[in-house]
Structure 1
């Protein structure tokens, strides 16, 4: 049985509820319309997995209607992909699609328009020259809707994360000195595919020894040497929803300093988890992790040895999405929000230790998707 056999996909009814919520939220954000372009939000509202190209495709969503702007020669593909009929404004290859969008906005009396953050600058700049409407980022309204996951979304994310944790377990039992990084990555990808991931590993970072001190690795194909630390950060998607789990472990006995810092990393991760309470600002979670590290002489702030990046990120249809567990993000934690928890410790030129699991918010506080690592030598 694959991971996707245990969960249901997002239904047409849920997507329609999302679209209605977007339309109902427009006045609160002082917007007349939002322009959705290919990317995560296009998938979220319409189920379309198209990618942005030089040919503009977008959905103009106002309180009264939804208008898709699309090349005419793609009409059959778009109509087949959408389960609900909308209004359409087709454009031919010799036409400027930004002028078509401008006409749609003008006809709908849309003056204040939010642009999907996934829209490229080139498209947004061209649109700004083609319309008299006032353009701004649709990021705040889209984040307000996408940040709180439904029960179906949580189930899909749980399936993805459980699969990736199973992959970590299998790799821990399999990996041994003498293996190249590329071998390990290939096996992780294979296991994700066998388990039912959308398309194998969405990403994979495998680091050994000193390489673990670089948060996302460095180029090359090193060979695992006996006694080296192992850091593996990988994930997949199920129906577009992401996993992203990191484990740092050793196959052989490590020195006292490595063991002590590994325990400190686990303590910082636990402090961040405990700080995640409904209503508290996201930034407080980052502060809680850093306070633990600074108490033990690391940091402060982003200074090394210490934590070089934020404590966590939102996750869903994008592997990194808002809100973020970082100083300055004052978004109040709310039910259904999902985050990574990964307050990495880096000792430059020597090693790095990152434990990454994800949690989601409930009325009672944070709840783990996956059980955190037990110890340096018993990671899973």
Structure 2
């Protein structure tokens, strides 16, 4: 909006107040964290329901519509705030593809979705396999999980956001990915702030020196991309306490049991 106004009335001098407003929203209150918790709990239940409807040749658009309606059932009045469903090679595109896909045996399934509850956002991604995972997919999935955990472990009070991002990259590089933002590997930031906006300050990325503080809330999603083959994104969120990070949602258990039914 700021840029639109500035372009419409260029004769005036403008000062962007985002530094102030975004800064005020970085640290959430206990009430805000409770709303975020509920929204994320709702979306995790929707993920579980979506996994149960998968079948051979189901279309991504059918899954997206199911997720939209399921979000309404669990308490999000407007349904999904967004939804990305990707099968097979399409999962290697971090922000999705335009064309619908049909599920095949042993396809990688990547579902990224969220909702809003009283203005506060959820945003959770799960990746698993419909059928049997290949050795390559299985190894990459474990690398992704380890990178997510490395970022979580690095997230401590007063640590710079960029150091959390670096921890995920070090983990992936130890498994032969990267280095840095190179592919195959992690081509984008490890995470983003979340609250009233689905993406908000600060960011877990290489040039963000913001120190972590109590009440900050982040996604943790160091997506691993294998171009032309598949992508693995495990996305959960955490919030900062004086004692360190706390998960909003339980991360995926394993590629064979992502929701922990066998645990």
TM-score, normalised to structure 1, is 0.67
Residue 23 of structure 2 contacts residue 201 of structure 2 at CA under 8 Å; is this kept in 1? Answer: no
**Aligned match for 2:145, one of 263, 266, 274:** 266
**Corresponding residue for residue 320 of structure 1:** 199
Q: Kindly indicate whether residue 128 of structure 2 is the aligned counterpart of residue 249 of structure 1.
A: yes
Residue 157 of structure 1 contacts residue 243 of structure 1 at CA under 8 Å; is this kept in 2? Answer: yes
Instruction: Encode CA deviations 1:35-64: one digit per residue, 9 max, x unaligned.
Output: xxxxxxxxxxxxxxxxxxxxxxxxxxxxxx
Write the distance in 2 (CA, Å) between the matches of 1:136 and 1:129.
13
Residue 282 of structure 1 contacts residue 324 of structure 1 at CA under 8 Å; is this kept in 2? Answer: yes
**Corresponding residue for residue 30 of structure 2:** 151
Residue 2 of structure 2 contacts residue 16 of structure 2 at CA under 8 Å; is this kept in 1? Answer: no
Runs of 4+ in 1 over 3 A off after TM superposition: 125-128
**Corresponding residue for residue 225 of structure 2:** 346
Write the distance in 2 (CA, Å) between the matches of 1:220 and 1:127.
40
Written as runs of structure 1 = structure 2, the 5 A alignment for 1:287-302 is 287-302=166-181
- Work out which of the two has the higher radius of gyration on C-alpha atoms and give 1 or 2: 1
Write the distance in 1 (CA, Å) between the matches of 2:119 and 2:247.
20
Please give the secondary structure, in 2, of the residue aligned with 1:288. Answer: helix
Deviation at 1:251, TM superposition (A): 2.7
Please give the secondary structure, in 2, of the residue aligned with 1:294. Answer: helix
Instruction: Indicate the RMSD between aligned Cα atoms, in angstroms.
Output: 1.1
Q: Kindly indicate whether residue 3 of structure 2 is the aligned counterpart of residue 121 of structure 1.
A: yes
Write the distance in 2 (CA, Å) between the matches of 1:225 and 1:140.
47
Deviation at 1:151, TM superposition (A): 1.0
**Corresponding residue for residue 243 of structure 2:** 364
TM-score, normalised to structure 2, is 0.96
**Aligned match for 2:71, one of 151, 173, 192:** 192
Deviation at 1:128, TM superposition (A): 5.2
**Aligned match for 2:184, one of 291, 300, 305:** 305
Unaligned runs of 5+ in 2: none
Unaligned runs of 5+ in 1: 1-118
Instruction: Encode CA deviations 1:64-98: one digit per residue, 9 max, x unaligned.
Output: xxxxxxxxxxxxxxxxxxxxxxxxxxxxxxxxxxx
Residue 221 of structure 2 contacts residue 234 of structure 2 at CA under 8 Å; is this kept in 1? Answer: yes
**Aligned match for 1:225, one of 77, 82, 104:** 104
**Corresponding residue for residue 377 of structure 1:** 256
Write the distance in 1 (CA, Å) between the matches of 2:111 and 2:4.
36
Instruction: Encode CA deviations 1:228-284: one digit per residue, 9 max, x unaligned.
Output: 010000000000100000000013111111111101100000000000000011111
**Aligned match for 1:206, one of 72, 82, 85:** 85
Deviation at 1:127, TM superposition (A): 4.8
Deviation at 1:124, TM superposition (A): 2.2
Written as runs of structure 1 = structure 2, the 5 A alignment for 1:97-108 is none
Deviation at 1:126, TM superposition (A): 4.5
Write the distance in 2 (CA, Å) between the matches of 1:270 and 1:151.
24
Write the distance in 2 (CA, Å) between the matches of 1:218 and 1:278.
38
